[in-house]
Structure 1
Amino acid sequence: MKNIILATTALVATAGVAAADVSISGYGRFGAVYSNNADDWNTASRLRLQFDVSAETDGGIVFGARQRLQTEENATGNGGNGARFYMTTNGFTLAMGNILGVIEAAPNLYLSTKSAGVGLEGNGFYSLAANTSSNGGRFAWTAYSSGGAGATEGVELLYNMNGFGAHLHSTDVSTGLGLNYTFSGYTVAAAYEDFDNGDSILFASVGGTIGQVDVALAYADTEFGGASAQKWSLKGGYDFGTGLTVYGFVASEDSPANESYGLGASYDLGGGVSLEGGVTKTDDIADDTIISMGAFFSF
């Protein structure tokens, strides 16, 4: 697949450039996080600067790249990440470098919140069906890396047209396929990533919006290092129309048995500024309660 995609790139690389665009966006967040296991409150912060550049040929083919600078509290994750390069035309997108990955880009994987999880920082992202004890964390799958290190270099091909989406990726350690379809405000999705060492992740979901309510049901079957687990996650939120949105999730994993749930709220102050807060409870070996809260602003 890599050879086919690279050959496609070569066919359009000689087209003339007609237009170019450069944009800078990002967000900042700061507040506090508490863990019952650590029995302590700590400061929490992140500043993200995102650079998007693109140029369009006379034939309407867009070439572009994305790179981020991100700093966490105590200067961790400081510096730029690996760039993602792409070209797109007629619903097709070819990308390489710091790719998205089919699991990471699958609809309904994350909560539709500012942190993509619960509260200001995500609270461990227990709401993710693919985040199981067998794979040890949310980035065991191929994913776009925002930090200065850890990016999985690869190549991917995406297609989106008339509600249908398809996604293929290939790296030095895995291949993946994702499919999704949107109809009447609902999206169904499935994605599978197979690793060269025998590990794998299967993810499936359905979700949509009804008036002021959004809801999603997700399932994942993961196998890593000889250990396997299945997990369900039900999540949703309600927009009161007054600037306040309340959301939550419940999740259940079979091996080892782990029930988790969370509740959070976001209050929009206008101008891209909001107050975020939430609590997550896990019923496993860790048996932890995590709270994070603070301010978020986008630009």
Structure 2
Amino acid sequence: MKQILLATTALVMTAGVAAAEISFSGYAEMGVVGGGDDNISFASNGETQFHNDFNLIVTMTSETDTGLAFGVSTEISKDEGEANGDFSADNTAAFISGAFGTLTMGEIDGAVDWAITENVGNPGSIGDDETMHAGYMGAFGDGNYDNQIARYEYSFGDFGIAASAELDDTGEGDDGYAIGMKYKGDFGGFGLGFGLGYQSLTTSGTWAPGNLGDFVGDLADGIDMDIYAVSLTGDFNNGFVAGVAYTKFNNDIEDFEHIGVSAGYTVGAFEIGANYGEFDLDGDKASGYGIAAAYDLGGGLKVHGGYGDSDIDGFDGDFETYSVGVSMSF
């Protein structure tokens, strides 16, 4: 198999003037996805289907004469599912960075998602089975509005702090704000990570925490929400990592909470990861778990397998998902 190399182009202006660089990288997947009769994966209604995905990441960076770095990146992706073609830009963001820190704006993580580690040791799967079950907590309050986020971050030693905002462009609710901090250090061969965050928003009617919206629908419009989150991770420096994350949602209708645990192990070219999460909504549970494994064949080619399962109180259904295939990084 001949490996495809995407060229990196550097545009050097003149001596004494900082260089501008445009770089390209790529990622692709192919395989099979499927699941239970009520799964929400690419294989709708439990039918086993072929899956392919393609992403081209374009990054442009430069620097001023005074050392101020700036740039932009975007991801050109093929629509997932049955469609071949229908390319679109995704995850576009621009940044400016210097001694003052880094300011980034675009489709990025807010300060809470930036600070909290919700899933460690995950090698990934082509169907994202391990991160799409009902118990998975991912983006916290991000995406409640138009998913255009401005985030400022600053790091000093092993600590980092961040603040972010996502504006309500409808003018009908309060803007969303978030703050977060994280720490990562080494203690005699044991790696410790800690994250803490707070986020406030007014629900837009098209958002729900984690993957809940895919299973039980989005929250009603106009609910004032405060989100508090904390995470703790450990790296035993022997291939094993583990973590736990807790999130509390306070609002003027009904408070609820989420707990998530995850772990992973790497030995040689083999990786495996698992996670479990549970939402407690006033006694009703929405939970799920996911498992993903990968084997690195070298040169950017990996074999992947994944499985996910969900259980929601009051909902009967077969919410399993699975996938197997290969990923290619260029």
Task: Settle same-fold status: TM greater than 0.5.
Answer: yes
Opposite residue 162 of structure 1, the aligned amino acid is: G
Cα gap change, 1:45/1:63 in structure 2, threshold over 3 Å: closer, same or farther? same
2:37 aligned with 1:31: no
Specify whether residues 249 and 98 from structure 1 end up closer, same or farther in structure 2 by C-alpha distance, changes over 3 A only. closer
1:50 aligns with 2:81: no
Provide structure 2 residue ranges, at least 5 long, that are not aligned to the other structure: 1-15, 38-44, 168-174, 203-222
2:293 counterpart residue number: 265
1:28, 1:129 → 2: CA distance?
27
Superposed, 1:130-279 pairs within 5 Å as 131=137, 138=138, 141-142=141-142, 152-172=147-167, 173-184=175-186, 185-196=191-202, 197-210=223-236, 211-222=238-249, 226-241=253-268, 243-255=269-281, 256-279=284-307
Aligned in 2, Cα 1:291/1:198: closer, same or farther, shift over 3 Å? same
Query: Cα RMSD over matched residues?
Result: 2.6
Distance 2:54 2:252 in 1: 35
Deviation track 1:82-127 (CA, whole Å, cap 9, x = no partner) reads 6311111136101223343123323422444353xxx322226257
C-alpha deviation, 1:202, in angstroms: 2.3
- Does residue 69 (structure 1) correspond to residue 95 (structure 2)? The answer is no
Contact kept in structure 2, 1:32 and 1:42, CA below 8 Å:
yes
Q: In structure 1, what is the equivalent of residue 322 of structure 2?
A: 291
* Bigger Rg, which one: 2
Name the counterpart of 1:89.
98
What SS is found at the alignment partner of 1:18?
A: coil
Q: How many residues align?
A: 268
Partners of 2:244 and 2:70 in 1: how far apart?
A: 35
Q: Do the aligned partners of 2:200 and 2:227 also contact (CA within 8 Å) in 1? A: yes
Does the Cα contact within 8 Å between 1:263 and 1:280 map onto a contact in 2?
yes
**Alpha-carbon distance change, 240 to 102 in structure 1, aligned in 2, over 3 angstroms:** same
Deviation at 1:220, TM superposition (A): 1.5
After the TM superposition, which segments of 4 or more aligned residues of structure 1 sit over 4 Å from their partners? Answer: 126-130
Normalised by the size of structure 1, how large is the TM-score?
0.80
Tell me, yes or no, if the aligned pair for 2:93 and 2:105 is still in contact at 8 Å: yes
Q: Distance in 1 between matches of 2:100 and 2:265?
A: 32
